[in-house]
Structure 1
Amino acid sequence: MDLVELLQQAQRLANDTKMEMEMGVERTMSQVLQATQELHSRVTQTGTNDLQAHILLGSKGVDLPKLTQKLETLSARQSFEPLDPVTDTDVQGYLKNERENAILSVIDETNRSIFESVERQKWRCIYAEWGEEKESLLNALVGPGQQDFPDVQRHMVPTAMADEPTPYSRMNVIQQLYAKQITAYNESVINGSQRNNLVSTFAHLSHDSFDDSLVTEMWNVLEFMTAVTPLSRNIDPIKSRQTAPQFIQQARTYLERRYKTYMNKVIEQNLVLARRGGIPNVYNVVGSYVGVTFQQPQSLYGLHDVSNGRPLWPLIYYSLRSGDLGAAVQYLKESGVCPDLLKLMTLQKMGDTDTSTAKIEGQLKLEYNNKLHVCTDPYKKAVYVIVLACDPHDSHAELMRSIDDFLWMQLSILRGQEKRDYNIEQLTYAGLQSLILDKYGENYFNAREKTPLYFQVLALTGQFEAAIEFLARTETNRPHAVHMAIALNELSMLGAPSSVKQPLLSSEPDDPSPMKRLNLVRLIVMYAKCFEQSDTEQALQYYYLLRHFKSEDGSNAMLSCVCDLLVENCDDRMLELIFGVEDEFNSFRFTGGIFAEFHTMDYDKYSLAGMVGDELSKRSNYESAIKLYFIAGQLDKALRLVCSLLSQVVHQQSRPGSMRERLCGVTKRLDAALAERKTDVEAHVIVTYTVLSQVMEFFDFHHAGESRLASEILANNRLIPANSYEVDECVTNLKRMGPEIIKVLPDILLAAMDIVYGEYVSQRGTSGSGSVFGDETKSENKEAVLRQLRARAKALTNMAASVPYRMPSTTNQRLVQLEILMH
């Protein structure tokens, strides 16, 4: 570099320095202090943590910027974020998703199991702590000592309990009152005396003893509806009810009588306005009632044929509403209007149904459709609808002030199938029933809160079964529903299903819609099950009402119910209560017992005992079944069960309270019974029982150490061989015996081998030293005895091998082992 260049470079540096000095910013001390404070605040607010992190990680050799870059490269997607969907052809994506799904499911399952385990451990610890706390609190409740309260004298309060306490009745007062009437009714049936009408009996009971007007009203409705001509017991109640017009007439009459009562109450409350007088008949009652109801001039607005402040058509309508067609005819005749209607009503009153009536009806229906259909007088329109039985869709809202009014109107316009005019739409009995039960239903009538009202509506439309089923849903009304069903069934007015296994409410394919059938068996069983343990006698009275019902297999419903009762509770107290006590002169005769009152030609208590015994035998309750078979006099079945039980316990030692000890008492009773009725039992059963009895005696001697007596029993019964020549004979005899003997044979062989081995050890011990006796002849005799014992042991092992039944391996091993020890 020459001097020129060096000079130029120095000038440039000088110029740069000068420019920087010229661009410098001069600040005062206050400005510098303010800038310093702002810089310090920014650093302390945002950068302190980063600086400290840099300093801390830098001191440990960690490069924080590089670590931050690595963290940013990681996926930010959450671990349990749903996987991206892949197409069906993307195999790699599908496999990747499946792998990730598997991993996620394992993680999720592990997380759930850990959470559940921790939760269980937490509650276990909490319960343990609670238990310790309760224990400490109970320990702290120890009563004070006498020294703490020296002036307090403790007195013991004696408690008296009955020697034989009776269970507390589960029947309330209403149920007990009903049960008394059922018992009295059953007694009259059994004695053959005249039966009372249960509906009337229960209706009077509710009126006299129940402090519930709603229940009394329900019984009154049912009593009134059943007060018809007795129906044939050979005709199905459902079909006869649908075709019998008297049920419709009864419902109308009941509603009309109730409305007359209501009108009289209104008149009595307004005697001045009613101006009551004259003969006390419906004609004058209706006149007085209309005078009270239409006293204001505005109440006559829109009404036709008003004379002297008395509207005509309300008089006619309320006469019909009260059930007096004659009063309606009289009012219409006095007015002098509508001669055709007067003629038709007169013919209906006289009961004339000839062709002239049909002609007048046609003319009046035409007049109604042309003019009166839009009439402003609701009473006149209602009278035409009632007389002509037409226009069922008109609600008559102006006149319907209660459910009774609506139901009476519907019943008044009914037409039977044989009187229907198919040219116009008319309402039938089945149509009204469907309207009440299906279309309107429980919600429309607010049945849950107004149960008696809905029951009355169903009963008045002839739907007894549906009404009783609805009433039986609540526990409070169930006793009334059960006895209503019983009373109707005794009058042959209750529709029952073809099978006793049907639901509580069902219908048959041939039944007219919407009629239902009520399963009385299921209803009574459901009701009596609640108290059959505490009030068994009353429960049997209800089961007696089911004596005419049969199940699919032909069994009697009453016997089935009592059988179930005894199967569930078959103790000595219940058996004595049902069947009585054993006659001291005849062991097969039982006197007393509740069921003795219910005997008929079809069954008695002995057939019931056999039925219960069979059911107990099916359930493997053999000991109780034996008791029932003995009551029934069925010794053959009792002996079979005794043999089966003896084969299981005959080889055991007798202990107090064991089955073997209980069977000893049974065998003594059976031995006494067989002495009188041995011919009633099959021969092979007697043989099996006799052999087992001998085997039981054999084991008693064996366990008592009486080997000689035990051996004599085996020898007398030829059960085991004395030598090898008798093996075939014993095996042949064994084949003729029952399986119960085969079952106990291994124990017999082992016991016999133990007896032989014991005798062998005894003989061997006495013959061990000949010097003691000094007699060679005696030694030879004892050797012969030992050989005989060995021969007996050999015969036992041969028999075990020759029996065509599979012997237990332990039995064969024990027999062979003892035989080897004898050589």
Structure 2
Amino acid sequence: MELGDLLRQAQRLTNDTKMDDEMPRVDRTISQVLQATQELHSRVTLKGTRDLQAHMLLGSKGVDLPKLTQKLESLSARKTFEPLDPVSDTDVRAFLKNERENAILSVIDETNRGIFESVERQKWRRIYAEWGVEKRSLLNALVGPKQDEFPDVQRQTVSTILAENPTPRSLLNRTEELYAQQIIAYNQSKIQRGHRTNLLAAFTQLASDNFHDLLIAEMWSVLQFMVDNVTTSRTIDPLTSRLSSQQFVQQARAYLERRYRQYMNTVINENRVLAKRGGIPSAYSMVNAFVGITFVVPSSLVGLLDVNNNRPLWALVYYSLRCGDLGAACKFLHEVGVCQDLYRLLAMMKEGIKGDPYARLEGVLKLEYNSKLRCCTDPYKKAVYAYVLACDPQNSHPELMRSIDDFLWMQLSILRQDDDREYNIEQLTYSGLQRLILEKYGENYFNAREKVPLYFTVLVLTGQFESAIEFLARTEANRPHAVHMAIALNEIHMLGTPSSIHQPLLSANPKDPAPMKRLNLVRMLVTYAKCFELTNTTEAMQYYFLLRHFKDDNGTSLMLSCVSDLLVENCDQEMIELIFGHEADESNQSGIFAQFHTMDFDKYMLAGMVGDELAHRSNFETAIKLYFIGGQLDKVMRLVCSLLSQVVHQPPAESSMRNRLCQIIDQLDEMRSVMRVDVEPHVLATYSMLTQLLIFFDHYHNKDSQLATELLANYRITPNNCSEVDECVANLKRLGPEVAKVLPDILLAAMDLVYEEYVKLKGGSGSRSSFGSRDSTQTDDWKGVNREGSLRHLRTKAKALTNMAATVPYRMPTATNKRLVQLEILMH
């Protein structure tokens, strides 16, 4: 290759490698490239390459690795509670040390956990209370439009007279008030006369007379019709009896047949000229007239069989069955004289005859139906055979099913019990029909949101009371009706309820046949009554009375639990008097709870239960009021001891807790004089000591040094000399921990009294010591003691107080020890 060609090729390669970026070109010689390669290789192979790579990686993400390394090195891996070192089995000293430290750590951990949980509960309770106040303030702030925006409106002044004792406005509307009145009347009848009225019939009559809503009245009517004349028992599960009994199927068919008779009579009355209904009023004449009106047009007879005088035979038989009269159907068949086997089978059904002749005749007719009638052009004849033979559930008979009632009646007519099924033939069972309505078709098919009464009626007619009531309770307007339907069914033991009160509103038990559901009446009723328990407490209590037979997780009656929750959340004086009555009433008949005197529990049990919950929530003063009502004076004494230990050392002040406790103590002592109190000896001793300390601190704050000192000396609370320290400490151990809480204040007060006396004597006043004596002999001895002896005695007593502070097995506050030592030093 020539040099010129080589130069042109190099230029071409150079042009090809040129980049479009505006970066400056770097021209390097072969030696420079070799040098750069060697430097790069040395950096990669030298120690610290990984650090360099780490710097490059973290630097690309914005992390400063040197600073991060410094921060990590500054962290301390030492924990607050380091694990204990393992010890050998033979090292007893180390083993005991570890056990002691383990016990201390477990106590600290448990205490921290308990404090955290308590603070968390208090926090959320406070947050909910603040949210409630904020919501009420926001609702109160909502006002209507300003009158200035409507200048043409004539303003009229309406005189307003406020009641002397205003009561909160009821949250019950007219419908709910009417229901509540019926509940009150029902409960009073049960309590006073010992027997229950028919609550379902009372509600049905109420809906018919007072609600002025035909749809609501119809829903109550169908519910009452379905359970009318149905035997119930407390010992049998309602769902089991409902599925095993044919009464519900017969009741549903009877209801649909009654409605169709009403429809037929309405059509006949509207077309009396065409009907020509003469003769004796009966189902036979009614069906004859109705068919005459229905088939007045000749074209309507096309495809029908056995037509005589413009009246098709099978239509007459079908409508006779549709209105529930087998006798009329038999009469029509007998008059025409066709299908003698079917006539005999209908006659046997009418008479209720069962057995081998019935089974053989039924088998013959089934063969005839399967071989000939499946392709029959007369839909009425096919429907009659399907009804009589209870077969062919897949045939929906669309020519005849003009409404949901017709479809449901046909499905109910061809039902077979599980023990009566022929498994070689497809047949419909009761549970199969329920699944068809609830699951296959469901709410969308029936347009249930817009046609609430229709879907409710369909569910009730198929024996699904719980699902029907739950569906009705979803809308605000129908919820009161649903609640009271559930109450009425439960009172006659016809409502399926779950075993646990914590189940959802509608739940399924795996042991129940599908698609049966169970309705949580407790959840529904409590949610309903909670809305008005503050404004209509009497009515709410009547509803809670209906839950007296239900039990919560602790085995307590739910009525007791609901009323207890009401009082715990709203336990003011007005609510206590409303529930339990006034204290001045000696008959114990005032108060709402006194009305329910036939229960296994009374207001004393309720008061104790509420008091326990309030005490658990640290609302001690209100809990004491409830314990007084419940007569549980031992619990009152315990709470008084707990509260006194916190405020007994404080000076008296008006409306303070200390003064309120003084009133409670007076009331407690008065009741103890007429009532026996079973309480542990140490609690009684603690209570007695704290009440005496209350008197002591009253004297101390009133500057009655003589009386305060004598009280301490009489009860051996503090020592007079060092030899009495052990005795006073032993007396303190026999008392409850409440006295130990007050001990620092007692010692400080006693030391102040000693120092005050010391200052008086030191000043040369010559006044007699306020520590005059513990008995008359000592008093006589003290009269002749000189001033130095008195001062020495006061120093000895101060020393004894300091020794007692150091001897007691309780941790004294540092400030208390410091003050005691300072005063003792000042007396030397």
Give the TM-score normalised by the residue count of structure 2: 0.79
Query: Using a 3 Å threshold, how does the CA distance of structure 1 residues 93 and 480 change in structure 2: closer, same or farther?
Result: farther
1:373 deviates by: 1.3
SS of equivalent to 1:766? coil
Q: Report the AA paired with residue 357 of structure 1.
A: Y
1:161 deviates by: 3.2
Is 1:627 aligned to 2:625, yes or no? yes
Match of 1:327 in 2: 328
Query: Using a 3 Å threshold, how does the CA distance of structure 1 residues 678 and 358 change in structure 2: closer, same or farther?
Result: closer
Match of 2:603 in 1: 605
State the alpha-carbon separation in 2 of the partners of residues 392 and 243 from structure 1: 21
1:335 deviates by: 1.8
CA deviation map 1:693-712 (0-9, x unaligned):
11111112212222222112
Task: Decide which of 808, 811, 823 is 1:806's aligned counterpart.
Answer: 811
1:677 deviates by: 2.2
Greater mean deviation of Cα atoms: 545-554 or 238-247:
545-554
Is 1:645 aligned to 2:650, yes or no? no
SS of equivalent to 1:302? coil
Match of 2:732 in 1: 734
CA contact (8 A) 2:304 2:312 kept: yes
CA deviation map 1:67-120 (0-9, x unaligned):
xx998449xxxxxxxxxxxxxxxx99999787655689xxxxxxxxxxxxxxxx
CA contact (8 A) 1:264 1:285 kept: yes
Indicate the RMSD between aligned Cα atoms, in angstroms: 2.6
SS of equivalent to 1:166? coil
1:172 deviates by: 0.7
SS of equivalent to 2:763? helix
CA deviation map 1:506-548 (0-9, x unaligned):
2223212111111111111111101110111111111111111
Q: Report the AA paired with residue 606 of structure 2.
A: L
State the alpha-carbon separation in 2 of the partners of residues 711 and 92 from structure 1: 83
Alignment of 1:300-339 (within 5 A): 300-339=301-340
State the alpha-carbon separation in 1 of the partners of residues 393 and 224 from structure 2: 29
Query: Using a 3 Å threshold, how does the CA distance of structure 1 residues 453 and 494 change in structure 2: closer, same or farther?
Result: same
State the alpha-carbon separation in 1 of the partners of residues 58 and 240 from structure 2: 67
Query: Using a 3 Å threshold, how does the CA distance of structure 1 residues 656 and 73 change in structure 2: closer, same or farther?
Result: farther
Alignment of 1:87-98 (within 5 A): none
1:564 deviates by: 0.7
1:176 deviates by: 0.7
CA contact (8 A) 2:683 2:735 kept: no
Q: Report the AA paired with residue 310 of structure 1.
A: R
1:759 deviates by: 1.9
State the alpha-carbon separation in 1 of the partners of residues 259 and 157 from structure 2: 65
State the alpha-carbon separation in 2 of the partners of residues 70 and 797 from structure 1: 95
Match of 1:170 in 2: 171
Match of 1:614 in 2: 612
Query: Using a 3 Å threshold, how does the CA distance of structure 1 residues 746 and 767 change in structure 2: closer, same or farther?
Result: same
Q: Which has the larger radius of gyration?
A: 1
1:493 deviates by: 0.8
State the alpha-carbon separation in 1 of the partners of residues 567 and 763 from structure 2: 60
Alignment of 1:341-490 (within 5 A): 341-490=342-491
1:790 deviates by: 1.3
Match of 1:121 in 2: none
CA contact (8 A) 2:633 2:677 kept: no
SS of equivalent to 2:717? coil
Query: Using a 3 Å threshold, how does the CA distance of structure 1 residues 157 and 463 change in structure 2: closer, same or farther?
Result: closer
Q: Report the AA paired with residue 649 of structure 1.
A: V
1:261 deviates by: 0.5
CA contact (8 A) 1:282 1:327 kept: yes
1:780 deviates by: 8.3
State the alpha-carbon separation in 2 of the partners of residues 670 and 656 from structure 1: 20
State the alpha-carbon separation in 2 of the partners of residues 629 and 756 from structure 1: 41
Match of 1:128 in 2: none
Match of 1:819 in 2: 824
Q: Report the AA paired with residue 515 of structure 1.
A: M
1:795 deviates by: 0.7
Give the TM-score normalised by the residue count of structure 1: 0.79
Match of 1:126 in 2: none
CA deviation map 1:297-337 (0-9, x unaligned):
21112111212211111111111110011111111122222
Gaps of 5+ in 2: 1-18, 25-50, 65-145, 149-155, 767-781
SS of equivalent to 1:787? helix
State the alpha-carbon separation in 2 of the partners of residues 71 and 672 from structure 1: 104
Is 1:786 aligned to 2:791, yes or no? yes
State the alpha-carbon separation in 2 of the partners of residues 540 and 341 from structure 1: 60
CA deviation map 1:422-449 (0-9, x unaligned):
1101111111111111111111111111
Match of 2:548 in 1: 547
1:470 deviates by: 1.2
Is 1:797 aligned to 2:798, yes or no? no
Query: Using a 3 Å threshold, how does the CA distance of structure 1 residues 807 and 436 change in structure 2: closer, same or farther?
Result: same
Is 1:702 aligned to 2:700, yes or no? yes
Is 1:664 aligned to 2:662, yes or no? yes
State the alpha-carbon separation in 2 of the partners of residues 94 and 331 from structure 1: 102
Is 1:691 aligned to 2:674, yes or no? no
Q: Report the AA paired with residue 714 of structure 1.
A: L
CA deviation map 1:440-479 (0-9, x unaligned):
1111111111111111111111111111111111221111
CA deviation map 1:613-664 (0-9, x unaligned):
1111122111111111111111111110111111111111222222112111
Q: Report the AA paired with residue 789 of structure 2.
A: A
Query: Using a 3 Å threshold, how does the CA distance of structure 1 residues 344 and 581 change in structure 2: closer, same or farther?
Result: same
Match of 1:211 in 2: 212
Q: Report the AA paired with residue 539 of structure 1.
A: A
Is 1:278 aligned to 2:276, yes or no? no
Is 1:571 aligned to 2:576, yes or no? no
Q: Report the AA paired with residue 641 of structure 2.
A: C
State the alpha-carbon separation in 1 of the partners of residues 230 and 641 from structure 2: 61
Q: Report the AA paired with residue 428 of structure 1.
A: T
1:683 deviates by: 2.5
- Give percent identity, aligned residues only: 63
Match of 1:636 in 2: 634
Match of 1:716 in 2: 714
Greater mean deviation of Cα atoms: 713-722 or 575-584:
575-584
Query: Using a 3 Å threshold, how does the CA distance of structure 1 residues 357 and 92 change in structure 2: closer, same or farther?
Result: farther
CA contact (8 A) 1:583 1:590 kept: no
SS of equivalent to 2:324? coil
Q: Report the AA paired with residue 807 of structure 1.
A: M
Gaps of 5+ in 1: 1-68, 75-90, 105-140, 144-154, 769-776
Q: Report the AA paired with residue 643 of structure 1.
A: C
